[in-house]
Amino acid sequence: MAAIGMFDYLRSAFNWRRQRGSIVALGVFVLMLVILQLITGQGISYFDISSITSGAATLALAALGETLVVLAGGLDLSAGAVVSLVNVILVTQLANSEMGTAAYTLVSIALALGVGTAFGAVNGFLVAYLRLQSIVVTLATMLIAQGSALLILKFPGGEMPWDFSLIFTGDVIVDGLPAPVVVLLVAVAFWLLLKNTRLGTAIYAIGSDAESAASNGIDVRLVRFLTFTFAGTAYGAAGLFISANMGGGDPLIGSKMLLQIFAAVVLGGTLIGGGRGGCVGTIFGALTLTILVNIFLVLGVRTYYTPVVEGVILLLAVLGFSLGADSPVFGHLRYWRHTLQAMRQGTLPGRLSALGAAVRLDRLAGGKQAADVIPVSWFTRNRATLRFSVPPYLIYILVLIATIVLAGSDFSTIGYLNAMLIFTAFLAILGLGQGTVIISGGLDLSVPWTITFTAIVATTLTNGLDAPAVWVIPLSLAAGIAIGFLNGSVIVLFGLSPVIVTLAMNGVLEGVSLLFSGGAPIGKAPPVLDWFVSGRLGGIAPVGWFLIAFVIAATLLLNYTAIGRRIFAIGNSALVARLSGVRTGLPTLFAYVLSGFCSAIVGILLAGFSSQAFYGMGDPYLLSSIAVVVLGGTLITGGRGHYLGIFGGAILFTALGIMLSGTVLPEAVRNIIYGVVVLGAIIALRERRAA
């Protein structure tokens, strides 16, 4: 009987469904390891183990922290930036220390873990106790952390003591065993201990269903706070290890890690949305990605393909672990199968005629009660909209006054007006696309490389000539539409997280841009495009006249059309919208197509403004596109907003940028200010909900 009981316990503990993610991750890791050995024709040596684990340890530690957040139902975009910040702090603050190796190591560990934990605690407080959305909070703190890193160390440099680096990269800790292996084993031990505590159980509980967890006595806010705090500790550990591994500092070392972090998390079997997965699978996912890079190096594959492959792996992993009987794709197939069957049998209900009858009944009822309706003023009807849309215009007046004071006698009205029109146009156009996506309840992180890719296409194919612009500009716009269509299609058909899909698309577009341009963008923008952005028409930049027409069209489209109303309905509650008869797929798809189209317009305009395209030209516009939407009073969780408010946010953000550019503040400080402004706007405009 005891043997049978032990057998049942082991079968339960190692249930396939519970351990599926880790088992699959282990299997993929072993497969990639075998492929690497077949390619090199050599067995596994001490050097191979040390090299692979050394390359994977930083990613594994950062991804471990991300896994904790994802398991609890959140997302953390600040991971890579915190790694960079910890790295530059260690290099700059301890570079000239005369402490012994042991003391130096202990101080470095305490400093790295302390900085990471502090950042995680800030994220946790904002998300858990102020009830802000984790995506936007961590996006803003990412900008603050990245700006702080650049403020501390502008360029790569500095040097860590060799003895210190040897502790984490050699075999000093355990003789004959590479230190990175020990680091990963410690990480696994930490996770196993945490998983088997009440906190670990609570993390899974709130990731599965936060309301049910709260009903069962779990302090959801405390658990979320601790989750982000421990995640920050893991990021600090990743920053410590990469500092020892590199032996120096680099303020941008973590900027490219975000896609890899999410790829490792998903490849390890953790479900985006929370409640399923674990850190053991994540570590194997990080090891697998590292082996993949080594395979590319052995085969001589250009590094251009790396972000493409990482993005594809992320999408495939998410798809693989999300497909099931309740997957949206099967729901769509069942819907169309039943619809076609009803059409063949002649039993398909006349939905349009029924809707028309309902409308007629509503009108009749309204006509009967018209005498009882009390007239309501325009201000009363639009009180909520005015409350959130007017403040950015009022704050803009204050910023304008501050700009005039700072500019003094050199202030030029017409020059300032044209600068405002040009830069506001970029943000106002992006604001329509990103704002529509946010109102629908999503987020588009593919904006940076959609901008860059379409700009590269425009400049490369026109090469400074006006004649090809007739077909190249429509082609660039079509590319933006296609990108948005791919984003929306995957999100709608498979029900995947918009953040993961668009992040993966951003990585794919980075690789495609590198391949398309051969590693260096060539060509110039056509003169007509340069004139359109920077020329004059009646004393005003032509793009300014275009902006006026765009604002009118955007306001009508988003707030006064049927598809706009459906997007608002989906953002308020996709389930309620579906139960009300709204087909949510097409409006959601439209939102991402519109975002891709708007990003393409901005890419083309930026190419005309700069007369050329360059890598990373779209990077500053990710936070900006979200900032103008938030500053304009749009609810970041969806369902509330007005384009005139978004336009006001674009004016305010542009004015703030122009004011700061007239100061002696470094670019890094301005980035920190932007991040603080976005956080302040999110806090001020958040929905007040009962605890």
pLDDT tens for 535-545 read: 888 888 899 99
Residue 41's pLDDT band (boundaries 50, 70, 90)?
confident
Judge whether residue 600 has pLDDT over 90: yes
Q: What is the pLDDT of residue 605?
A: 95
Distance, first Cα to last Cα, the chain: 49
Tell me the mean pLDDT in the region 498-514.
Answer: 90
Tell me the mean pLDDT in the region 451-461.
Answer: 94
Q: What is the pLDDT of residue 355?
A: 41
Q: What is the pLDDT of residue 531?
A: 92
Enumerate the β-bridge partners of residue 249: 157
Q: What is the pLDDT of residue 359?
A: 41
Greater pLDDT, 147 or 36 = 147
Two tokens, residue 468 = 């090809």
Enumerate the β-bridge partners of residue 174: 177
Spatial separation of the C-alpha atoms in residues 363 and 370, rounded to whole Å: 10
For the entire predicted model, the pTM comes to: 0.84
Spatial separation of the C-alpha atoms in residues 603 and 613, rounded to whole Å: 9
Per residue in 212-236, pLDDT (tens digit) is 888 888 899 999 999 999 999 999 9
Among 226, 209, 202, CA closest to 120: 226
Q: What is the pLDDT of residue 356?
A: 44
Per residue in 432-441, pLDDT (tens digit) is 999 999 999 8
- Burial of residue 299, with CB atoms counted within 10 A of its CB: 0-12 exposed, 13-18 middle, 19 or more buried: exposed
Judge whether residue 85 has pLDDT over 80: yes
> In sequence order, what are the residues at sequence separation of 6 or more whose Cβ sits closer than 8 angstroms to the Cβ of residue 666?
150, 151
Per residue in 638-665, pLDDT (tens digit) is 888 889 999 999 998 888 888 877 676 7
Per residue in 108-119, pLDDT (tens digit) is 889 999 999 999
Tell me the mean pLDDT in the region 587-613.
Answer: 94
Judge whether residue 193 has pLDDT over 70: yes
Residue 339's pLDDT band (boundaries 50, 70, 90)?
low
Judge whether residue 350 has pLDDT over 80: no
Q: What is the pLDDT of residue 580?
A: 76
Q: What is the pLDDT of residue 377?
A: 64
Judge whether residue 182 has pLDDT over 90: no
CB 248 within 8 Å of CB 254 = no
Architecture of domain 20-321: Orthogonal Bundle (1.10)
Q: What is the pLDDT of residue 451?
A: 96
Among 655, 652, 632, CA closest to 643: 632
- Find the range with the poorest average confidence among 274-288, 372-386, 389-403: 372-386
Tell me the mean pLDDT in the region 128-135.
Answer: 87
Q: What is the pLDDT of residue 353?
A: 44
- Find the range with the poorest average confidence among 68-77, 457-466, 536-545, 673-682: 673-682
Tell me the mean pLDDT in the region 443-472.
Answer: 93
Q: What is the pLDDT of residue 135?
A: 84
CATH number of 383-684: 1.10.3470
Residue 342's pLDDT band (boundaries 50, 70, 90)?
low
Tell me the mean pLDDT in the region 626-641.
Answer: 85
Spatial separation of the C-alpha atoms in residues 192 and 186, rounded to whole Å: 10
Greater pLDDT, 54 or 96 = 54
Spatial separation of the C-alpha atoms in residues 499 and 445, rounded to whole Å: 6
Q: What is the pLDDT of residue 328?
A: 58
Spatial separation of the C-alpha atoms in residues 505 and 483, rounded to whole Å: 8
Q: What is the pLDDT of residue 687?
A: 61
Spatial separation of the C-alpha atoms in residues 443 and 441, rounded to whole Å: 7
Judge whether residue 360 has pLDDT over 50: no
The values of phi and psi at residue 74, to 5°, are: -115, -175
Helix or strand or coil: residue 537? strand
Amino acid (1-letter code) at residue 599: S
Residue 366's pLDDT band (boundaries 50, 70, 90)?
very low
Q: What is the pLDDT of residue 446?
A: 93
- 20-321 matches 383-684 in fold: yes
Judge whether residue 98 has pLDDT over 60: yes
> In sequence order, what are the residues at sequence separation of 6 or more whose Cβ sits closer than 8 angstroms to the Cβ of residue 365?
none
Q: What is the pLDDT of residue 414?
A: 74
Spatial separation of the C-alpha atoms in residues 645 and 124, rounded to whole Å: 29
Tell me the mean pLDDT in the region 241-256.
Answer: 86
Q: What is the pLDDT of residue 240?
A: 92
**How far from 218 is each of 199, 204, 214, 691, CA to CA, in Å?**
9, 11, 5, 13
Domains of the chain, by residue range, sit at 20-321, 383-684
Tell me the mean pLDDT in the region 447-456.
Answer: 94
